[in-house]
Amino acid sequence: MHYHHGDLRRAMLEAATEAIAANGVDRLSIRGLARATDVSHTAFRHHFGDRRGLLTALAAEGYGSMSQVLRAVDRTGPEGFLETGVAYIEWALAHPAHFQVMFEPDLVDMDDPDLREALDGLAGALMMGAADFAGRDQAGDPRTNPLALAAWSLTHGFATLALAGNLPTDGAPVGELARDVLRHLAPPTQPGHPPTEPGHG
Amino acid sequence: MHYHHGDLRRAMLEAATEAIAANGVDRLSIRGLARATDVSHTAFRHHFGDRRGLLTALAAEGYGSMSQVLRAVDRTGPEGFLETGVAYIEWALAHPAHFQVMFEPDLVDMDDPDLREALDGLAGALMMGAADFAGRDQAGDPRTNPLALAAWSLTHGFATLALAGNLPTDGAPVGELARDVLRHLAPPTQPGHPPTEPGHG
DNA sequence: GTGGAATCTTTCCACTGGAAAGACTACGCC
DNA sequence: GGCGTAGTCTTTCCAGTGGAAAGATTCCAC
């Protein structure tokens, strides 16, 4: 046992990831992390400042990881427009702790420069994927393009509901179900009547 | 000031609603609620048991309220299939504290009978609305119908992203944007594998 | 080596949620 | 009226939490 831990910052982030995934972020205890890492409960302050700083770092790590994964997606296939969404969902299910922190602004310090930089990186990756849905001619910015926003909402909603345990995840891999769900996104038809035509038509 | 508060249960729920909407559920303090209600910090225990019990009651209240609103939606118009989704989103934005607690299973006691009953009521209302998306011939159960699940995911995702501050809510009412987004849901146009298998049931 | 910077500990504090026991009040019953 | 019981709230105490401040230890450039 050394006085210097070696890489306490990383160890704390990993311990927090496990603890949040197991018990939820509301039951995350700094002192519990310190015990798991075998340091004093104030050791983390040098690296993160306070509890919120730790969660902010975790969120930034999540933005970076997700951004990296989404940018590596092969979107050239016949259903390439779906792949970013599927990757988004699979990443969320594989990183529940990060995902939970990433989209709860109450938990983090939104003014943190590292966080903002990582978030901007993810936003860029999302726009690339959304452009596949919206059509390559159009901008994929959800702020201006309702179809892109619909793609993001659908993907994010599926991931959120799945993480909250509201989906039948029994047996079949979620990736296939996600594909089936994401396929139901379509451009708008004439306003005034529904774009869906039930089977009896 | 009476020894008996009168309706402490309701007062506590309302104070909690305000506090969560203002600061998020993670910063909700029982003692803070007690101060706001001018009672001792253990007075609530008789009504809710513990902190989790209070959040559980809040979630149940939310399920009941949302269910009631969704069931009152007029779904007969030309775009009636959208109205449940729009009402879902508008309810969520009008009740951010409830919504936040309703879909975070870590925060509540999922075995609470009152909660389960209220949740079942909401599930029924959601299935009615989802059936409008999925087509009236088909079951609107998101557990078996991918289109119904897509409708729920899209609606829920939009509400979640809006509450997290990720949407451009400047100026225009969110209801219209929600309509534009929800209109993008459609049956699959891609050949190949049909997303819905006509299993028996 | 030595001085300074980085890292971790010790100690203390205000605060939190919960347990236990007691005090007050409403209300049916005599 | 008075009485007793159930319901409601308080008082008191406790273990646990996050954070502030100051000190101890180790690393590293020189």
- Please provide the average confidence, as pLDDT, over all residues in chain B: 88
Q: Please give the Cα distance from B34 to B109 (Å, whole number).
A: 22
More confident position, A197 or A148: A148
Band (A187; pLDDT cuts 50, 70, 90): low
Contact yes or no for A12/A44 (Cβ under 8 A): yes
| A residues 56..95 contacting B (CB < 8 A) | 78-79
Specify whether B91 is located in the same domain as B38: no
Specify whether A63 is located in the same domain as A34: no
CATH number, domain of B88, equals 1.10.357.10
Specify whether A12 is located in the same domain as A80: no
Inside any domain, residue A165: yes
Inside any domain, residue A197: no
Specify whether A61 is located in the same domain as A41: no
What crossing angle do the helices spanning A80-94 and A51-71 adopt, rounded to 10°? 150
Inside any domain, residue B12: yes
Q: Please give the Cα distance from A87 to A66 (Å, whole number).
A: 9
Q: Which of A12, A94, A90, A85 is nearest to A45 (CA)?
A: A12
| B residues 129..158 contacting A (CB < 8 A) | 133-138, 142-143, 146-147, 149-150, 152-158
Q: Please give the Cα distance from A129 to A152 (Å, whole number).
A: 9
Specify whether A124 is located in the same domain as A134: yes
Q: Given an 8 Å threshold on Cβ–Cβ distance, is B180 in contact with A146?
A: yes
Q: At residue A193, does pLDDT exceed 90?
A: no
Q: Which of B88, B64, B61 is nearest to B142 (CA)?
A: B88
pLDDT mean over A85-102: 97
Specify whether B37 is located in the same domain as B95: no
| Cα of A28 vs its chain's centroid, Å | 19
Specify whether A129 is located in the same domain as A56: yes
Distance (Å) from CA A86 to C1' D6? 58
pLDDT of residue B134: 75
Inside any domain, residue B195: no
pLDDT of residue B191: 40
Q: Please give the Cα distance from B8 to B12 (Å, whole number).
A: 6
Inside any domain, residue B162: yes
CATH number, domain of B28, equals 1.10.10
Interface check A186 vs B, CB under 8 A: yes
- Does residue B38 lie within 7 Å of nucleic acid chain C, judged by its CB? no
Q: Given an 8 Å threshold on Cβ–Cβ distance, is A186 in contact with B181?
A: no
Contact yes or no for B106/A27 (Cβ under 8 A): yes
pLDDT in tens, B3-33: 677 799 999 999 999 999 999 999 999 999 9
Nucleotide with minimal C1' distance from the CA of B27 is C16
Interface check B195 vs A, CB under 8 A: yes
Specify whether A97 is located in the same domain as A14: no
Residue ranges, chain B, pLDDT below 50: 1, 188-201
**How distant is the Cα of B1 from the closest Cα of chain A, in angstroms?**
35
**Domain residue limits at B38:** 1-49
pLDDT in tens, A8-49: 999 999 999 999 999 999 999 999 999 999 999 999 999 999
DSSP B3: S
Specify whether B29 is located in the same domain as B78: no
Per-residue HEC secondary structure of A41-76 comes to CCCCHHHHCCHHHHHHHHHHHHHHHHHHHHHCCCCC
Q: Given an 8 Å threshold on Cβ–Cβ distance, is A180 in contact with B166?
A: no
Specify whether B142 is located in the same domain as B81: yes
DSSP B185: B
Q: Which of A125, A126, A70, A131 is nearest to A95 (CA)?
A: A70
Per-residue HEC secondary structure of A140-185 comes to CCCCCCHHHHHHHHHHHHHHHHHHCCCCCCCCCCHHHHHHHHHCCE
Q: Please give the Cα distance from A154 to B56 (Å, whole number).
A: 27
Contact yes or no for B88/B159 (Cβ under 8 A): yes
- Please provide the average confidence, as pLDDT, over all residues in chain A: 88
Specify whether A30 is located in the same domain as A71: no
pLDDT in tens, B141-169: 777 788 999 999 999 999 999 999 888 76
Inside any domain, residue A201: no
Contact yes or no for B62/B108 (Cβ under 8 A): no
Rg, Å, chain B Cα set: 19
Specify whether B61 is located in the same domain as B140: yes
**How distant is the Cα of A134 from the closest Cα of chain B, in angstroms?**
10
Total of domains in chain A:
2
